[in-house]
């Protein structure tokens, strides 16, 4: 049996509860994939996006929903080692990728900037353009449950607002294209277990400005700070991440000082 078939089998057998069931639950609960959708599955080269690709493939083969999927890698200027690793992993996992090149890293470097926000914004723009070129109505990203919790805490601690990463959202600038996150309920530990069980090696951080961490660790960032904080919280309360997640689905507007809706600020004093 080809190795990729065993890897596919592990998703729906050994990791059925931790990965497959949660993937399917997110698809159904948030109505992420509908009949006749045309989805561009974005592969960055990391464990999350490759798992997403395999889950989408499985759903396409055996699910009841009929949809198209295009597996796309945007190369923002990877070094040769990282680029080849992506190609090798795609071949090993039987994911039919299409690679398109951009000069994002060169542009960011020419601006003498290491601004992650600028880079991310440029990447997102190129992805939407590619989806439009392919005639796709949805873009699937590999963000998982831990990304949601970390984003929530980052907004709270560093952004002075309470907001989270949504399972899907409409594009403000590309009409008719929706961004979806099918791994929304899958925990990172489960993805790591799947990766290690199948002896897979993925890119961790392919940023040109932190290439020394590309195949070894996550480097240092505010997001890693949140990751470590949650790990500490879990030692005291193993359900703390779930509670943070549910809190964002259970906001009591009678007990908040204010909130913003469609750029309109509402104060508790308005209806006091």
**Domains along the chain with CATH numbers:** 3-219 (3.40.50.620)
Mean pLDDT of 151-164: 94
Going by pLDDT thresholds of 50, 70 and 90, the confidence category of residue 220 is low
Please tell me the pTM assigned to this model: 0.91
3-33, pLDDT tens digit by residue?
899 999 999 999 999 999 999 999 999 999 9
Mean pLDDT on 76-87? 91
What is the C-alpha R_g of the chain?
Answer: 19
Mean pLDDT of 43-52: 96
> Where do the H-state alpha helices sit in 68-112?
80-93, 104-110
Which stretches within the chain are classed as H helix? 3-12, 21-29, 47-62, 80-93, 104-110, 116-134, 145-158, 188-197, 222-236, 240-247
DSSP code, position 208: G
Query: Which residue is associated with the tokens 């700070």?
Result: 225
Whether residue 108 contacts residue 76, with contact meaning beta carbons closer than 8 Å, is answered with no
Place of tokens 């592969």: 43
Q: Residue 215 — pLDDT band, cuts 50, 70, 90?
A: very low
Strands 138-140 and 178-180: parallel
Q: If you average pLDDT over residues 213-218, what whole number do you get?
A: 42
Position 192 confidence tier, pLDDT thresholds 50, 70, 90: very high
Averaged pLDDT for residues 40-61: 97
**Would you say residue 95 has pLDDT above 80?**
yes
């Amino acid at each position: 049996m080809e190795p990729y078939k065993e890897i596919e089998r592990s998703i729906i057998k050994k990791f059925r509860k931790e990965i497959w069931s949660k993937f399917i639950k997110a698809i159904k609960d948030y109505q992420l994939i509908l009949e006749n959708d045309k989805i561009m599955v974005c592969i960055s080269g990391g464990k999350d996006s490759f798992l997403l690709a395999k889950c989408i493939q499985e759903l396409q083969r055996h699910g009841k929903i009929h949809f198209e999927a295009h597996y796309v890698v945007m190369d923002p200027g990877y070094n040769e080692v990282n680029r080849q690793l992506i190609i090798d992993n795609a071949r090993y996992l039987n994911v039919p990728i299409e690679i398109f090149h951009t000069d994002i890293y060169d542009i960011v470097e020419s601006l003498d900037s290491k601004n992650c926000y600028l880079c991310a914004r440029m990447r997102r723009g190129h992805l939407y353009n590619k989806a439009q070129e392919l005639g796709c109505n949805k873009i699937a990203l590999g963000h998982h449950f831990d990304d949601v919790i970390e984003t929530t805490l980052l907004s709270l601690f560093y952004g002075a607002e309470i907001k989270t990463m949504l399972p899907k959202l409409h594009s403000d600038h590309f009409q008719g294209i929706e961004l979806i996150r099918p791994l929304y309920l899958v925990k990172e530990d489960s993805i790591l277990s799947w990766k290690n069980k199948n002896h897979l090696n993925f890119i961790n951080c392919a940023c040109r400005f932190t290439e020394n961490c590309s195949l070894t660790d996550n480097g240092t960032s505010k997001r890693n700070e949140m990751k470590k904080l949650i790990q500490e919280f879990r030692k005291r309360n193993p359900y703390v991440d779930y509670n943070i997640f549910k809190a964002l689905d259970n906001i009591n507007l009678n007990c908040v000082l204010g909130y913003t809706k469609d750029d309109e600020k509402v104060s508790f004093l308005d209806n006091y």
